[in-house]
Amino acid sequence: MKKKVSILIPCFNEQEALPCLYEVLVKTINELEAYAFELLFVNDGSVDHTLELIRHFHDIDGRVSYIDLSRNFGKENAMLAGFDYVKGDCVIVMDADLQDSPSLIPEMLHWWEEGYEDVYAKRRDRGRESWLRKHLTLAYYHILDKSTRFEVLKNVGDFRLLDRKCIEAMKQLRENERYTKGMYAWIGYRKKEILFDRADRVAGESNWSYWSLLNLAIDGITSFTTAPLRLATISGFIIAMGAFTFLLYYLGKRLLFGDPVQGFTTLVCIMLFLGGGQLISIGILGEYIGKIFNETKQRPTYLIRDYIVGKDVADKDESSVTCPAN
């Protein structure tokens, strides 16, 4: 019996890129006759014609299944929905914009057959990206890597092959505010790196603004390390000791030499500095409290409007589809 390979593609407003993706993807997998494929599209609340295109692919190709989420829950949650529903012995996660080249799929499958459970694609070149965005991204990965107890891979996105063991592990991690790139590192398993040059988007524009990337970065740091809290504590201790030292210094000058305490401007600057430091510390604490607040609600990570299985993918005894706990 052929091994089943699922290809998971989260989509949000990708109507311009999907026809090109489907054409290239089908050409690639048709040459891999040793495997049975499932193409699982997750429509993450698109407001264009993305869902109509996916339904068309489903009508003409029995390997195409799709999940239609009730609204836009974000790429991280859309991927979790895919992990819950994929039927393959392994899953390949890729974006819909063809920046992740399907030509790497045969190499990924080769290393999977060699026993690797997480075959990830590392970007040798990041494609068309501004200097500022590229260096901010690298700085963020450096900070995250130094502040966590496990290695966070730089220049590595979601484009990877995961064995069924990894899929089952990812399904157990049900955080509402997810940072999947960190989860891949956290679950461990035997990993293999392959290099590729990331292409430019084949069509459309990226949905990731600087603000969205900043929110993702904050989620990543606060989800996998308490270093900001520790840094705030250490900074507070250092500032307090410094303030106490200056207090003793000026008190000594006043008592021993009778020097008046001067420097209204200096006093105001110190007060503003300490006030700003306190607000920053409260803000860091608030980020973690906010996460606790959201997790204690225990709301489902996503909700599904529709789940349609391709006729070549459905199990023979599958008469109905039920949603797993999400």
Instruction: Provide the pLDDT for residue 235.
Output: 74
Separation of CA 131 from chain center: 22
Residue 325: the pLDDT is 46
Angle between helices 210-224 and 180-187 (to 10 degrees): 30
pLDDT at position 139 is 65
DSSP 314: S
User: One-letter amino acid identity for 155?
Assistant: N
User: CA–CA separation, 178 vs 223, rounded Å?
Assistant: 8
DSSP 90: E
pLDDT score, position 131: 59
> How many angstroms separate the CA atoms of 4 and 34, rounded?
9
pLDDT of residue 39: 92
Q: How far apart are CA 214 and CA 73, in angstroms?
A: 17
149 and 182 Cβ atoms separated by less than 8 Å: no
Model-wide pTM > 0.85: no
Q: Quick one: tokens of 257? A: 């030499």
Instruction: Tell me what pLDDT residue 40 has.
Output: 93
Question: So what's the pLDDT on residue 319?
Answer: 41
Q: What is the pLDDT of residue 283?
A: 76
Residue 295 identity (one-letter amino acid) = E
Query: Residue 163: its pLDDT value, please?
Result: 92
Q: What is the C-alpha to C-alpha distance for residues 4 and 282, in angstroms, rounded to an integer?
A: 50
Walk along the chain (326 residues) in steps of 10 and give the mean pLDDT of each run.
88 87 89 89 89 90 89 88 90 86 88 89 67 62 60 75 91 82 83 77 53 63 66 73 71 68 64 73 77 77 88 61 50
For residues 49 and 74, the answer to whether their CB atoms sit within 8 Å is no
Q: Nearest-CA neighbor of 88 among 167, 1, 180, 157? A: 167
